[in-house]
């Protein structure tokens, strides 16, 4: 099985930063081994930095030139897959949709449906082919909405992780020297609001990776450093409002990273983990939810009742390993590609 992954490095001069794209390669090697002749993984990097593929035309030509069973493309900037390439590759091709940028309706499904129908042109991103049109021929992976099949050829996915890095090996409390933390950057209004709430209390909250200048400049963390923070954190905060506004909720990678490392999650908006009659994680079983009125009380409660948060964290950790392991992630990809 040959997999080709096409993406722009999150930081074009630092391929080791712990972004969702970089984790995909690690999950593949975790599932199948790094020197397994039956499972090969190749990468095409595009972007504006020297040494990368610098034009969409070059990217499309290079994809066609390669030999593979599955091709996953994380489109970005103006680098998009052309319709003739989409039709030629068919279900061997997966387009990544990391963000549902529509936030006009409180109903997340309406927002996602609207986004699917529109050319994906927002900010610096310019992809002229709507996902609804592309999905008539190829597959689409949605990272912040849905679970399993959302529409024909459109699938909600969890985070692909290398559990050699993220797995705690059941050492939950042993090295946890951070009581409460948020591991990520401050680029949404919701995160800023909670920072102001926490600033007025005596509870020490540790912020890592932040780009809020009142805390410290952005940190570029490797996967190992990023995972180590979750392994050392008793209560990990997760904020689900996106940069596109309060009507847009996203789960993306952080809940899976928290689960894999055995930390306990307090999250805003539990609806972000639900789709139809299924859910990624269950509120009250695997994690608990917070809002701006009760976040302090809940943090104090779970710090004072370690047995309750440890039991829920252990349940979430086991649920991740049982259902969202790297091997299961890739089995789903191969199944959807018809390449089993």
- Span 13-60, pLDDT tens digits: 666 555 667 789 899 999 999 989 999 999 999 999 888 999 999 999
> What is the pLDDT at residue 212?
46
Q: What is the pLDDT of residue 179?
A: 96
Angle formed at CA 294 by CA 289 and CA 298, multiple of 5 degrees: 65
Under DSSP, the state recorded for 204 is -
CA distances from 311 to 304, 305, 306 (A): 14, 10, 8
Class of residue 291 by CB neighbours under 10 A (exposed 0-12, middle 13-18, buried 19+) = exposed
- Do residues 186 and 332 share a domain? no
Q: Are 295 and 216 members of one domain? A: yes
Q: Say if residue 104 is in the same domain as residue 175.
A: no
Residue 105 shares a structural domain with residue 186: no
pLDDT above 90 as % of the chain: 69
Main-chain dihedrals φ then ψ at residue 7, nearest 5 degrees:
-165, 165
What dihedral do alpha carbons 284, 290, 296, 301 form, nearest 10°?
A: 0
Number of domains within the chain? 2
Same domain, 181 and 119: no
* Pair 250, 143 in one domain: no
Residue 33 structural domain:
2-158+325-337
Same domain for 256 and 296?
yes
Angstrom distance (rounded) from CA 328 to CA 121: 33
Residues 125 and 143 occupy one common structural domain: yes
Per residue in 187-236, pLDDT tens?
A: 788 988 998 999 899 888 988 875 444 555 566 677 888 899 999 999 99
* Beta strands per DSSP E along 22-92: 40-45, 70-73
pLDDT at 303 over 50: yes
Kindly report, residue by residue over 63-76, the tens digit of the pLDDT: 999 999 999 999 99
Stretch 157-181: mean pLDDT = 86
pLDDT of residue 244: 84
Q: What is the CATH number of the domain that holds 310?
A: 3.40.50.2000
Q: What CATH number is attached to the domain comprising 41?
A: 3.40.50
pLDDT higher for 2 or 220? 2
Q: Are 152 and 34 within one domain? A: yes
Q: Are residues 45 and 29 in the same domain?
A: yes
Cα–Cα distance measured from residue 92 to residue 121, given in angstroms and rounded to the nearest whole number: 25
203 and 313 both lie in a single domain: yes
**∠ CA(155), CA(161), CA(166), 5° rounding?**
150
pLDDT for 250:
87
């Amino acid at each position: 099985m040959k997999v080709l992954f096409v993406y722009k490095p999150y930081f074009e001069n630092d391929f080791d930063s712990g972004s969702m794209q970089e984790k995909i390669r690690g999950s593949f090697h975790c599932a199948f081994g790094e020197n397994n002749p039956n499972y090969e993984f190749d990468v095409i990097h595009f972007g504006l930095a020297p040494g990368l593929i610098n034009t969409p035309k070059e990217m499309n030509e290079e994809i066609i030139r390669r030999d593979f069973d599955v091709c996953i493309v994380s489109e970005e900037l103006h680098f998009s897959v052309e319709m003739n390439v989409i039709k030629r590759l068919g279900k061997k091709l997966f387009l990544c949709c990391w963000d549902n940028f529509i936030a006009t309706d409180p109903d997340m499904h309406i927002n996602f449906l609207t986004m699917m129908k529109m050319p994906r042109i927002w900010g610096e991103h310019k992809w002229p082919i709507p996902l609804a049109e592309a999905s008539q021929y190829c597959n689409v992976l949605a990272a912040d909405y849905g679970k399993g099949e959302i529409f024909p050829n459109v699938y909600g996915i969890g985070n692909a992780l290398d559990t050699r890095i993220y797995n705690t090996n059941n050492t939950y409390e042993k090295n946890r020297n951070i009581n409460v933390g948020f591991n990520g950057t401050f680029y949404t209004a919701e995160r800023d609001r909670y920072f102001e709430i926490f600033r007025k209390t005596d509870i020490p909250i540790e912020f890592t990776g932040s780009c809020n200048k009142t805390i410290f400049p952005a940190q570029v963390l490797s996967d190992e450093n990023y995972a180590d923070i979750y392994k050392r954190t008793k209560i990990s905060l997760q904020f689900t409002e996106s940069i596109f506004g309060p009507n847009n909720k996203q789960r993306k990678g952080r809940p899976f990273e928290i689960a894999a490392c055995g930390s306990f999650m307090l999250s805003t908006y539990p609806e972000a983990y639900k789709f139809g009659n299924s859910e990624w994680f269950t509120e009250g079983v695997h994690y608990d939810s917070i809002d701006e009125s009760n976040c302090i009380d809940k943090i104090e409660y779970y710090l004072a009742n370690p047995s309750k948060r440890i039991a829920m964290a252990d349940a979430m950790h086991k649920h991740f390993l049982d259902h969202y392991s790297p091997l299961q992630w890739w089995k789903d990809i191969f199944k959807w590609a018809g390449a089993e």
